[in-house]
Amino acid sequence: MGLFKDYVSQTRKPEGFLGKMMLRGMNTGHAKLADWGLGHLQNLAPESVVDLGCGGGRNAGELLRRYPKASVTAVDYSELSVEKAREYNREMIAAGRCKVQQGDVSSLELPEESCDLATAFETIYFWPGLSQCFSQVARVLKPGGYFMICNESDGTDAVSLKFEKIIDGMKNYTAEDITAALKEAGFSKVKTDHHKNKPWLTVIARK
């Protein structure tokens, strides 16, 4: 259990050799989930996007591809994740469309009302207090901006609840938990969707 726990715990804050392995797995293993989540964002044309908890940078790259007129800021509190996300998106960084920075979602170092869209893929499990963090997201979003959360767990599936007991600091949330925290943080409209065959969950909130 020791090595297994050490490895799966890298989902929280990737570091060292095991963290590098985890980030490679995240970029490939979570792609279908992320693309399913992004499929809920129809008829949007954001100019400024922030991807929170960007991991290895694949989803930031997909946002850049889907929204060719947008700039994307990718944020993660893992130094290793920032390094890998910069490597993954180096061409877009050189083109001036992407920026990757280390940061804490509970105290975002981003200008107020600077983003049209915020995304969070497979990350809110580790955020230190949903209402506080969601308030920070609301602060950096423009009026009418959107916040999309995409989780592999709907907060009730047995597999994810098992990992919650193994990984320190992990908390699985139900759609009701997330909706309540978003409304407390000032979001006015919240929609949730479950995958028809899996415990995947997408939540979209509008400021």
Which tens digit of pLDDT belongs to each residue from 78-109?
998 999 999 999 999 999 999 999 999 999 99
User: What ranges do the domains of the chain cover?
Assistant: 2-206
Pick the CATH number of 2-206 from 3.40.50.150, 3.40.50.300, 3.20.190.10, 3.40.50.620: 3.40.50.150
Is residue 3 predicted with pLDDT exceeding 80?
Answer: no
Closest Cα to residue 71, out of 42, 43, 52, 51? 51
Give the pLDDT confidence of 24-64 residue by residue, as tens digits.
656 776 799 999 999 999 889 999 999 999 999 999 999 99
Question: How far is residue 63's CA from residue 51's CA, in Å, rounded to a whole number?
Answer: 9
User: Using DSSP, how many helices (H) and how many strands (E) does the chain show?
Assistant: 9, 7
Give the pLDDT confidence of 159-204 residue by residue, as tens digits.
878 877 877 878 999 999 999 999 999 998 999 999 999 999 999 9
Q: Specify the pLDDT at position 111.
A: 96
Weakest-pLDDT range from 5-9, 46-50, 72-76, 154-158: 5-9
Residue with tokens 């990984």: 167
Question: How far is residue 93's CA from residue 71's CA, in Å, rounded to a whole number?
Answer: 10
Burial (Cβ within 10 Å: 0-12, 13-18, ≥19) of residue 125:
buried
Kindly report the backbone phi and psi dihedral angles of residue 128, in degrees, each rounded to the nearest multiple of 5, phi listed first.
-80, 75
| Residues contacting 137, CB < 8 A, separation 6+ | 52, 105, 108, 118, 120, 147, 185
